[in-house]
Chains A and B, each alone.
Chain A
């Protein structure tokens, strides 16, 4: 009985392994590509390109933490981006266009939540479907066109959301500090507190641990799931608006490429693929690593074609690392199953030890 069964160092210090890896990689890149990584400009560029990825990944941290998955957010980026762009450009609605774009993302997320929680379709399938639907809607409504927002940087919308507030500064890199980094930092810190300290964050983790236990403990699982997907939709809409404004252009495919990078950011960060454990801090650092790999490889002399390969490698290594360090009891089961996505969705197929699933409240129990 002398074994101390308190939390390990990794459990006590949120995101510790990924923070260490982040700084090791940063050091490595500074060594291999000093001409890029010892200059301030790469970092100011990061501050303008990282926010959409980080917002998506943080939203997805809640989704995956609850044992679900959302594949529809790239389509939300297209759809909400379109709603915003068309209202802003064709109808000249200014801030109303921002509100409408945001509301469209919230609505799509809410519909996802209803389909998953109330109708009971596994999230993997449900969001695969809605991904096609909303991407299709965006293409149909925009007629496949892109919208160039020329002169948008004169508007208060642009100034406030993605402007450069310190343009008057004498130091060149300070003039390039973008507003979206500030908003993203605020949102991420707020959501970090929600995950760690708020009732909602606790419910997310318990739902990810087990839907059945959560119901028994009095958590309204359906309602919380709807909230989770609505939050994801809202964050995807914010990312869409930032992306459209930063590029000064809307195009239908602008969300593509975020699906795998966002999922990778979450899992590299240390959120469990099985749900029940989630870290917003880890995700923030995870998304920074994913984004950093590209310029690092290019600057080191490797071609851009290597980027995905290395991202995939980092992704797999980190999943295996977390599996071994934090969930020894899962190890065996994982290699037997070897289908990473097998546990997504309602997560009730079978419990950890392979016994048949305890019946959920809405299916006929045996006894």
Chain B
């Protein structure tokens, strides 16, 4: 643990923002999904990303995490510019950026231990997986990082057998395990029961307490208003507003977004 604390301290010194985009554009053929995006995420900041369907939220995080390449623009990670042609999901992982997609973070039919390590398996030189070690570590993550005990869930359980909240917990726990400096959550509370939503919001707070940054995409304004330090509003591929939750109540925020919708009509 001492070693870990040291690296955390070292990290503290050398960057101001975990991720920064400058004038990022993204086209899908003739359709422009992102226009002139300038956004900066501080190193221990929880940023809520809100906007209507089709506003470009998912595209924005896909660009940020290397799933999609931007058409143009610059990406800085820990203040250092990334060569766009090199940027990939794997590189984002190496740079401690983790994404938890609403229902695309875990493979349903696979056991939990495979889900924890896929994409960065513990292997020997020939690529054969050290199953015993992976299971051991997965068990640790399950019990310590996520806090699943005595709930009938083991590392051999398949994801299909878990509830929605448990899945989000597993995915967030996995991200924490990899010491992610930035965890991106894509609508983690969609289709969850109230008690499950509470669990997920607690996970989000845990990210902040652990000194990490988080981008939280959410449709439910009350949820995101509750946990975010700053809200970024996207509309038709543009950032149209940045709001501090303390300056605007949930009701005013809702009214603001409705106005934004009406302005298109």
Residue of A nearest to B55 (CB): A367
Contact B156 A7 (CB under 8 A): yes
Given contacts A212-B104, A358-B104, A361-B62, contact A206 B110 (CB under 8 A): yes
Bound form: Cα–Cα A219–B33 in Å: 25
A365 to chain B, nearest CB (A): 6
Contact A367 B110 (CB under 8 A): no
**Residues in chain A near residue B54, CB distance under 8 A:** 366-367
Given contacts A199-B127, A212-B104, A213-B104, contact A367 B56 (CB under 8 A): yes
For residues 240 through 261 of chain A, which have their beta carbon under 8 Å from a beta carbon of chain B?
Answer: none
- Looking at the complex, which one of A206, A216, A358, A365 makes contact with B89 (CB distance below 8 Å)? A216
Residue of A nearest to B161 (CB): A5
User: 1/0 contact trace for A345-367 toward B, CB 8 Å?
Assistant: 00000011000001001011111
Contact B129 A361 (CB under 8 A): no
A220 to chain B, nearest CB (A): 8
Contact A219 B129 (CB under 8 A): no
**Residues in chain A near residue B88, CB distance under 8 A:** 218
User: 1/0 contact trace for A169-200 toward B, CB 8 Å?
Assistant: 00000000000000000000000010001111
Bound form: Cα–Cα A205–B158 in Å: 13
Residue of B nearest to A359 (CB): B58
Contact B33 A364 (CB under 8 A): yes
Contact B119 A7 (CB under 8 A): no
Give the total of B residues in contact with A, Cβ under 8 Å.
52
Confirm or deny: A338 has a beta carbon within 8 angstroms of a beta carbon on chain B.
no
Most chain A C-beta atoms within 10 Å of own C-beta, residue among B56, B160, B162: B160
**Residues in chain B near residue A198, CB distance under 8 A:** 123, 126-129
Confirm or deny: A32 has a beta carbon within 8 angstroms of a beta carbon on chain B.
no
Bound form: Cα–Cα A367–B121 in Å: 32
For residues 1 through 58 of chain A, which have their beta carbon under 8 Å from a beta carbon of chain B?
Answer: 1-7, 11-12
Confirm or deny: A159 has a beta carbon within 8 angstroms of a beta carbon on chain B.
no
**Residues in chain B near residue A3, CB distance under 8 A:** 152
Confirm or deny: A329 has a beta carbon within 8 angstroms of a beta carbon on chain B.
yes
Contact B31 A361 (CB under 8 A): no
Contact B152 A5 (CB under 8 A): yes
Confirm or deny: A89 has a beta carbon within 8 angstroms of a beta carbon on chain B.
no
A32 to chain B, nearest CB (A): 38
For residues 206 through 252 of chain A, which have their beta carbon under 8 Å from a beta carbon of chain B?
Answer: 206, 209-210, 212-219
Confirm or deny: B120 has a beta carbon within 8 angstroms of a beta carbon on chain A.
yes
Given contacts A7-B156, A215-B67, contact A202 B114 (CB under 8 A): yes
Contact A218 B110 (CB under 8 A): no
**Residues in chain A near residue B51, CB distance under 8 A:** 367
For residues 15 through 45 of chain B, which have their beta carbon under 8 Å from a beta carbon of chain A?
Answer: 28-29, 31, 33
Contact B156 A209 (CB under 8 A): no
Residue of A nearest to B166 (CB): A5
Contact A216 B33 (CB under 8 A): no
**Residues in chain B near residue A365, CB distance under 8 A:** 28, 33, 58-59, 62
Given contacts A6-B154, A198-B127, A200-B127, contact A361 B121 (CB under 8 A): no
B67 to chain A, nearest CB (A): 6
Contact B120 A218 (CB under 8 A): yes
**Residues in chain A near residue B151, CB distance under 8 A:** 1
- Looking at the complex, which one of A5, A358, A364 makes contact with B31 (CB distance below 8 Å)? A364
Contact A217 B157 (CB under 8 A): no
- Looking at the complex, which one of B58, B128, B160 makes contact with A367 (CB distance below 8 Å)? B58
Bound form: Cα–Cα A367–B162 in Å: 27
Bound form: Cα–Cα A272–B119 in Å: 22
Contact B127 A218 (CB under 8 A): no
Contact A217 B118 (CB under 8 A): yes
Confirm or deny: A277 has a beta carbon within 8 angstroms of a beta carbon on chain B.
yes
Bound form: Cα–Cα A2–B152 in Å: 7
Given contacts A7-B157, A216-B67, A364-B29, contact A202 B53 (CB under 8 A): no
Bound form: Cα–Cα A165–B99 in Å: 57
**Residues in chain B near residue A206, CB distance under 8 A:** 107, 110, 114, 118
Contact B152 A4 (CB under 8 A): yes
- Looking at the complex, which one of A203, A276, A329, A366 makes contact with B53 (CB distance below 8 Å)? A366
For residues 100 through 159 of chain B, which have their beta carbon under 8 Å from a beta carbon of chain A?
Answer: 101, 103-111, 114, 118-121, 123, 126-129, 131, 150-154, 156-158
Given contacts A5-B153, A200-B127, contact A272 B109 (CB under 8 A): yes
- Looking at the complex, which one of B55, B99, B131 makes contact with A216 (CB distance below 8 Å)? B99
Contact A218 B153 (CB under 8 A): no
A328 to chain B, nearest CB (A): 9
Bound form: Cα–Cα A63–B110 in Å: 17
**Residues in chain A near residue B161, CB distance under 8 A:** 5
Confirm or deny: B90 has a beta carbon within 8 angstroms of a beta carbon on chain A.
yes
Bound form: Cα–Cα A60–B258 in Å: 53
Bound form: Cα–Cα A199–B118 in Å: 8
B72 to chain A, nearest CB (A): 17
**Residues in chain B near residue A6, CB distance under 8 A:** 152, 154, 156-157
Contact B68 A361 (CB under 8 A): yes
**Residues in chain A near residue B118, CB distance under 8 A:** 202-203, 206, 217, 219
Given contacts A5-B157, A5-B161, A7-B111, contact A213 B106 (CB under 8 A): yes
Contacts A5-B161, A358-B104 aside, 8 further interface pairs with beta carbons under 8 A come to A5-B154, A6-B156, A7-B158, A213-B105, A216-B67, A216-B104, A358-B103, A367-B51
The 6 A-B pairs at the shortest CB distance, nearest first, are namely A364-B28, A218-B119, A209-B107, A276-B109, A218-B89, A217-B119
Chain B positions within 8 Å of A, measured between CB atoms, are: 28-29, 31, 33, 51, 53-59, 62, 67-68, 88-90, 93, 99, 101, 103-111, 114, 118-121, 123, 126-129, 131, 150-154, 156-158, 160-162
A-B pairs with beta carbons under 8 Å apart, 15 shown:
A4-B152, A5-B154, A6-B152, A193-B128, A198-B123, A199-B121, A199-B127, A205-B110, A206-B107, A219-B118, A219-B119, A272-B109, A277-B109, A364-B33, A365-B28
